[in-house]
Amino acid sequence: MNGRAIANTVSLPNAAPNLQMVGFLKAIAAPALTPALSVTTDSRVAITAADALATAPIEASAVLSLNGLVTATDPNDFYRFNLAQSGVFTASLAGLTGDADVRLLQDKNQNGAIDPGEILAWQWERGSTNESIRRFLAAGDYFVQVMGYNGQTANYSLATGFTPAVSDSQAFEFGITFGQSLSALTQAARDAIASAAEFWESLIISRSAITRSNRLDLVIRGESLTTANGSPDTGTLALSGPQFDLDGPNLVISGGISTINLRRLAEFNANPGYLRDIMVHELGHILGLGTLWEPVRFANSGGTIFEVGKTLIDRTTTTYRANTYAGWVYGELLKTFTQMAIPIEAQIFAHWDEGRFDTELMTPFAETPGVSVPTSQLTLAALRDLGWNVNMGAAQAYALSGFAPVPTMAQATVQPTGARSDRAAYRASCACRTCLAASKVHELGSSSGLSRLIL
Ligand SMILES: [Ca+2]
Ligand SMILES: [Ca+2]
Ligand SMILES: [Ca+2]
Ligand SMILES: [Ca+2]
Ligand SMILES: [Zn+2]
Ligand SMILES: [Zn+2]
């Protein structure tokens, strides 16, 4: 759980005596096979923009500064570089006359193609907004890609930087504590929960204002959940929500609590992979997905009110607002390429709509064990809307398929029926009275002297 493996396995070679930030010895390779744009920024060094990953020559330096152009017929420029030691790599894209994106890539399997897990950083800004990425890298071969979005023509200025370092001072991590109530949880199941945490650690690039810390403390505990009328609740898998601390006058996420339903414990012990998928979803709630889509208010003993959270959803239309990063992603999924309001689950309000998004991670009902539950760009964009720095390139493949029509408001209040009624619900905690009573989450540390205001 301690940071990236990448940070712990790299040993820094003896520092070169000169001030060269990036050391490597390869000469500039032969010109790319396809026509390439060459921009000279230094009388000694030509920078070559290749049209394909496979044909990109290694540049003379990882520190690049150049102007380029992508178009509908030439949508990609690849720049390859080599790092002789680990450190923090940055890239910025500015001067855009259209929408282009900058991405950091590593061809891990060296097949000349971009495969899942090979996009290391992608900020994903729409319009002609500047972009900037940052990633701690081990020594090795990497690529910067400038990519036109949806066939747009864009002039761009690309600048990259590299600062040697042995580890990443901004690496994000979860610290996990298992409660006594989970003593019957097997080691394999605990490892599955750790793996769920590592999934988020790998795609949250650095700390941000929503936490102001590199680390979130997680408490995982067990409870035999009961329904509102006191009968055993066998349908709920787990409940989770963030905890907050005051940072000056601001509430920030300090950690979270996940409560696993002990009535399902045998199932989790028997199928750790299923538990992992469930916990990826649950930790999403701790990061604020669903739980901070609306403001949450606390008061101290003196009556001062503190608020945390955003105004991302509209309960009257049961949608997540269009004017968001997630709204852009939904427009891309619908192929309108405009910002679209996103259906969310009626009554719960803390998930994407199950009928529309089905297997996506942050829908309210879990899938059959073994069915893949992709963490799509929609969910990663929603993290960005909350203020997290994430790698949009870590999103898993997802497409809308055979979805039902957008529910009307009347339909939207109907509970899932039929085949879905036997599905287990993750049941997020939300800001309503029912959820608060059921989940006992959103607790502040006792030292903070704050109490939650019930809406
Ligand atoms: Ca090109
Ligand atoms: Ca862009
Ligand atoms: Ca590859
Ligand atoms: Ca689902
Ligand atoms: Zn949930
Ligand atoms: Zn609720």
What's the complex ipTM? 0.86
Residue with tokens 């085949």, as numbered in its chain: 419
Query: Considering every ligand atom, which ligand is closest to the CA of 94?
Result: 2
Ligand nearest to the CA of 427: 5
* pLDDT tens for each residue of 125-147: 999 999 999 999 999 999 999 99
Residue spans of beta strands (DSSP E) within 179-285: 204-206, 215-223, 238-247, 250-261
Ligand 6 centroid to 233 CA: how many Å? 16
Cα of first residue to Cα of last residue in the chain, in angstroms, is: 36
Structural domains in the chain, CATH included, are 7-164 (2.60.120.380), 173-452 (no CATH)
| pLDDT at 98 > cutoff 60 | yes
Task: Please determine, for residue 262, whether its predicted confidence score (pLDDT) is greater than 60.
Answer: yes
d(CA 320, CA 302): 34
Q: What ligand is nearest to the CA atom of residue 98? A: 2
Per the structure block, which two tokens stand in for 164? 């040697």
**What digits encode the pLDDT tens for the residues 390-405?**
999 999 999 997 644 4
Distance in Å, CA 239 to ligand 6 centroid = 11
Size of the chain, expressed as the number of residues it contains: 455
Quote the ligand 1 centre to 64 CA distance (angstroms).
Answer: 16
Tens of pLDDT, residue by residue over 382-440, are 999 999 999 999 999 999 976 444 433 333 333 333 333 345 666 544 434 444 444 33
* Ligand 2 midpoint to CA 126 (Å): 5
If one compares 374 and 29, the residue with the highest pLDDT of the two is 374
Q: What is the 3-state secondary structure (H, E, C) of 301-359?
A: CCCCEEEECCCCEECCCCEECCCCHHHHHHHHHCCCCCCCCEEECCCCCCCECHHHHCC
